[in-house]
Amino acid sequence: MSEFNLSQALETNRSFVDKVIAESGQDIRQCYQCAKCSGGCPGTFAMDYLPNQIMRMLMLGMKEEVLKSQTIWVCMACNTCTTRCIRDIDVARVMDTLRQEAVKHGYTEKGRLVLIFNDVFLGTVRSYGRLFEAGLLMMNNMRTGNLMKDMQFGLPMMLKGKAKPFPHRIKGRKEIRKIFEETRRREGK
Amino acid sequence: MAKYAFYPGCSLETGGIEYGMSSHAVAEALGIEFLEVPDWNCCGASSAHMTDHLLSLALPARVLALAETLPVNEMVAPCAACHQRFAAVEYELQNEDLRRKVNSLLERPYTGKVRLRSYLDVFANPATLEEIRKKVKRSLKGLKVACYYGCLFVKPPKLVNFVDDPENPQAMDNIMRVLGAEPLPWPYKTECCGASLGMTREDACTKLCNDILKIAKDSGADCIVAACPLCQQNLDMRQITVEKKYGTQYRMPIPFFTQLIGLALGLDPKVLGFKKLFVDPVMVLRKVGAA
Ligand code: SF4
Ligand code: SF4
Ligand code: SF4
């Protein structure tokens, strides 16, 4: 790691830490660094920083490092950390906020696949009101360029009557569209 | 007669179709009434809460508001991921400001009149357990099961508001005992199976599945009992990939707990959707004399 000026980083990024605290509703300054969150986290083998390290880095104002980390995209939102935190911090919720902040600040490279998946998933919900799984699989593969991904599951799913070729459209689609448009507008996206 | 609003969620009509089939068959046999929420929409699952907080509350709030049009006091969602999203709405919309904000996006306001009930508790509460005990026709004696709760049905406890131990839950174990089966003590009851990484980090997902399957096998389980369509599909369908990658041969059936209740109640395995499982459950059926 290159040289790092801690006090300077703290100063310039203080507003970022405050923002994460406000957005997540979690006071990360309460963290004791007991590392219980990391001890139970099932994703650490694929992470670059442990969850408690992310918390510490946040407190130190290491905005870029946190937002560029692999960790926030590996986190599966399983809530083990939240359940076990001795300081009652919803760590999983902080991870949600960090993913959203990473998108806002343009750090999307490591999260590319997750972001495409979420976008396609929500795209089907926005159009039909419900998830359209077959469409999700196809569109996801097209956008990631991995055309054959999970195709071996397609036929067996079909044969078991588990894959529907057409989406179910709910009646309240207009209301759903409004929910999507309004939440996006309020976020200023 | 117990009566609940029923929220199937997207996967009960697709990947988890046997969960829906067995749920309805078992409910009928036990005199439980499920009323489907009219015109329900997807809860948004983890994709919504990873993307936008307000969106992740508004989508499930619309469903709860629709459930309020039914003559019920409680709603259940068999999918653990859906359940957790509804729990988040109940918890967070106690905040008046947030509730007003969310309601301004909906056609029908959410008032909190219909409360969320854990789907496991529908069967694991003492009265229903007693009812099941009286109606068991085909005991599952001799069947060793590893009850798998996944991460979201019992975690985080503050949110899901379901009285069970988040580290060592007992609801499903208690149901299995009443059916005559032997629930094994095993350490991976609530470990994450990585289903949400299935499309994005398959390598990681495969490893997590392998861990769970291996520990269950080593614990002597005949099958892993699931309570969530996402975990079930992940552990069932992905077993081909897992076995190839790790050179193992688990061939571990992953039935839903409702399928096993139905079996014990003497219902036809066909009605319970046993044929829909990917890993052939014939060993399980044979062991209890149902095949
Ligand atoms: S929610 Fe994320 S960070 Fe927390 S334990 Fe699960 S995978 Fe790890
Ligand atoms: S468990 Fe809580 S207090 Fe302990 S290190 Fe993790 S976030 Fe900090
Ligand atoms: S969690 Fe999955 S299956 Fe359950 S409603 Fe939400 S998207 Fe649909």
Q: How far is A1 from chain B (nearest CA, A)?
A: 27
A170/B39 Cβ within 8 A: yes
pLDDT score, position B180: 98
In the structure, what pLDDT confidence band is assigned to residue B282 with cuts at 50, 70 and 90? Answer: very high
Task: Give SS3 for B79.
Answer: coil
Segment B78-83 shows an average pLDDT of 96
CA distances from B160 to A88, B136, B152, B220 (A): 15, 30, 8, 31
Q: Rounded to whole angstroms, how far apart are CA atoms B216 and B195?
A: 18
Q: How far is B46 from chain A (nearest CA, A)?
A: 8
In the structure, what pLDDT confidence band is assigned to residue A163 with cuts at 50, 70 and 90? Answer: confident
A162/B276 Cβ within 8 A: yes
A92/B39 Cβ within 8 A: no
Q: Say how many Å lie between the CA of residue A39 and the centre of ligand 2.
A: 10
B24: which residues sit within 8 A by CB, 6+ positions away? B34
Q: Collect all residues of chain A within an 8 Å Cβ-Cβ radius of residue B190.
A: 80
Q: In this structure, what token pair is assigned to residue A147?
A: 């055309």
What is the 8-class DSSP label of residue B60? H
In the structure, what pLDDT confidence band is assigned to residue A9 with cuts at 50, 70 and 90? Answer: low
Q: Is the CB of B9 under 6 A from ligand 3?
A: yes
Q: In angstroms, what is the C-alpha Rg of chain A? A: 19
- Which of A37, A74, A76 to probe by mutation at the B interface, max B CB count within 10 Å? A76
Q: Does pLDDT of A16 surpass 90?
A: no
Q: Which of A26, A28, A32 to mutate to test the pocket of ligand 2 (most atoms within 8 A of CB)?
A: A32
Segment A98-117 shows an average pLDDT of 95
Q: How far is B128 from chain A (nearest CA, A)?
A: 29
Q: Which of A55, A82, A98 to mutate to test the pocket of ligand 2 (most atoms within 8 A of CB)?
A: A55
Q: Does pLDDT of B41 surpass 80?
A: yes
Segment A71-77 shows an average pLDDT of 96
Q: Which of B5, B184, B192 is nearest to B80 (CA)?
A: B192
Given the DSSP bridges, would you call strands B223-226 and B182-183 parallel, antiparallel or unpaired?
unpaired
Segment A163-189 shows an average pLDDT of 90
pLDDT score, position A12: 65
Segment B118-129 shows an average pLDDT of 96
Q: Which of B102, B97, B73, B83 is nearest to B5 (CA)?
A: B73
User: In DSSP terms, which residues pair with B182 in a beta bridge?
Assistant: B144
**ipTM of the complex, rounded to two decimals:** 0.93
With CA atoms as reference, the chain B residue closest to A47 would be: B204
Residues 122 through 141 of chain A touching chain B, CB cutoff 8 Å:
122, 125, 129-131, 133, 140
pLDDT score, position A151: 76
pLDDT score, position A11: 63
pLDDT score, position A161: 87
Q: Decide: B29 and B267 in contact? Cβ < 8 Å.
A: yes
Q: Collect all residues of chain A within an 8 Å Cβ-Cβ radius of residue B48.
A: 122, 125
Q: Rounded to whole angstroms, how far apart are CA atoms B117 and B119?
A: 6
Query: Residue written as tokens 């054959």?
Result: A148
pLDDT score, position A148: 78
Q: Does pLDDT of A10 surpass 70?
A: no
CA distances from A74 to A109, B205, B282 (A): 13, 10, 36
Q: Which of A127, A121, A118 is nearest to A176 (CA)?
A: A127
Torsion region of B280: left, alpha or beta (phi above 0 gives left; psi -120 to 50 gives alpha): beta
More confident residue, B157 or B75: B75
A175/B107 Cβ within 8 A: yes
Q: What is the mean pLDDT of chain B?
A: 96
Share of chain B above pLDDT 70, in %: 100
B278/A168 Cβ within 8 A: no
**What pLDDT, in 10s, does the model give residues A119-144?**
999 999 999 999 998 899 889 999 98
Q: Does pLDDT of B162 surpass 80?
A: no
Closest ligand to C-alpha of residue B48 is 3
In the structure, what pLDDT confidence band is assigned to residue B291 with cuts at 50, 70 and 90? Answer: confident
Say which range, A58-62, A92-96, A121-125, B157-161, has the weakest mean pLDDT. Answer: B157-161
Q: Does pLDDT of A156 surpass 90?
A: no
